[in-house]
Amino acid sequence: MIVIQAKDYDEMSKKAYESMKIVLTEKPDAVLGLATGSTPIGLYKEMIADYKAGAVSYKKMTSINLDEYVGLPVEHPESYRSFMNRNLFDHIDIVKENTHVPDGLAADLKLAADEYTAFAAAHPIDIQILGIGANGHIGFNEPGTPFDSHTHVVELKEGTRRDNARFFDNDIDLVPTHAVTLGMADIMNAKAIILLASGAGKAEAVRDMVLGPVSENCPASILQTHPNVLVVTDEAAGYYLN
Ligand code: PGA
């Protein structure tokens, strides 16, 4: 695990993009593992700007998103499909049919989750972008999720729903109670991983991920055992690493 401490959010986003760009330019048909949330938005802006400058094309690429809320209509502005369209896909030349987000509306969620796992297994992720929850979650794999898990439905912890209420008029009751997420084993299958963390609220989770024991209590700590992980924090999120 390589850890870079940037001074602020902007520098974090730029450093992450520098590393991601190596994969994007070396592999025109790369499979991108993508994440939602506030953290990767700056990275997506870098991707869009560089695409507009003509440096990278996403025409032959495939994307696989980490997670999606259960029961939220796709058109809802806070569905992760909407988020990805708005913050990235609508601004680059990726073919929409090649962008994949778990189906949180499937009649049979378990079957849809198994199909998502199979799809991810058949399209190994070249570069996985991750954020981290204040409780150390990656994707929506909350503390206690088995390390050998695949795509599954999760009941969101209250703290996670509280963190995400800012996207739902600050009303926790509007935040879905369940989500579908790629599992820990699916994430670990990625060839390379870039995890971004920004803000003091992530400092303890980053400390536990980097310095703590590898434990299901801090899902992100499993990344210590992955051969190719870059962690990029801003100063506040990297506070305990100094
Ligand atoms: P955030 O979420 O980027 O909105 O902080 C990260 C996460 O919960 O994984």
Predicted local confidence at residue 32, as pLDDT: 98
**4: Cα separation from own chain's centroid:** 18
Q: Whose structure tokens read 């579908």?
A: 180
Mean pLDDT of 151-156: 96
Q: How many domains does the chain have?
A: 1
Q: Whose structure tokens read 């390390």?
A: 147
Q: Which atom of ligand 1 is nearest to the CA of 137?
A: 9
pLDDT band, very low/low/confident/very high, at 82 (cuts 50, 70, 90): very high
Domain assignment present for residue 242? The answer is no
Q: Which one of 46, 67, 68, 126 is the catalytic residue?
A: 67
Domain assignment present for residue 233? The answer is no
Which amino acid is located at 137 in the chain?
A: H
Percent of the chain past pLDDT 70, that is, above it, reads 100
Q: Is the pLDDT of residue 128 over 90?
A: yes
Domain assignment present for residue 106? The answer is yes
Q: Is the pLDDT of residue 242 over 90?
A: no
CATH of the domain at 80: 3.40.50.1360
Q: Verify whether residue 135 is a known catalytic residue.
A: yes
| Calpha distance 214→222 (Å, rounded) | 6
Domain assignment present for residue 90? The answer is yes
Q: Which atom of ligand 1 is nearest to the CA of 36?
A: 3
Structure tokens of 236? 């506040």
Domain assignment present for residue 71? The answer is yes
Domain assignment present for residue 146? The answer is yes
The dihedral sign for the CA sequence 226, 229, 233, 239: positive
Q: Which atom of ligand 1 is nearest to the CA of 139?
A: 9
To the question of pTM greater than 0.85 for the whole model, the response is: yes
> What's the mean per-residue pLDDT of the chain?
97
Yes or no: say if 197 and 131 are a contact pair by the CB < 8 Å rule: yes
Percent of the chain past pLDDT 90, that is, above it, reads 98
Q: Which one of 103, 142, 208, 235 is the catalytic residue?
A: 142
Q: Whose structure tokens read 């400058």?
A: 53
Q: Verify whether residue 142 is a known catalytic residue.
A: yes
Mean pLDDT of 201-205: 98
Q: 3-class SS at 67?
A: strand
Domain that holds residue 36: 2-189
User: How many contiguous H segments (helices) and E segments (strands) does the chain have?
Assistant: 7, 10
Structure tokens of 158? 């209250």
| Calpha distance 227→128 (Å, rounded) | 13
Domain assignment present for residue 223? The answer is no
Give the DSSP per-residue string, 71-114. S--TTSTTSHHHHHHHHTGGGS---GGGEE---TT-SSHHHHHH
Domain assignment present for residue 197? The answer is no
Q: Verify whether residue 67 is a known catalytic residue.
A: yes
| Calpha distance 205→163 (Å, rounded) | 14
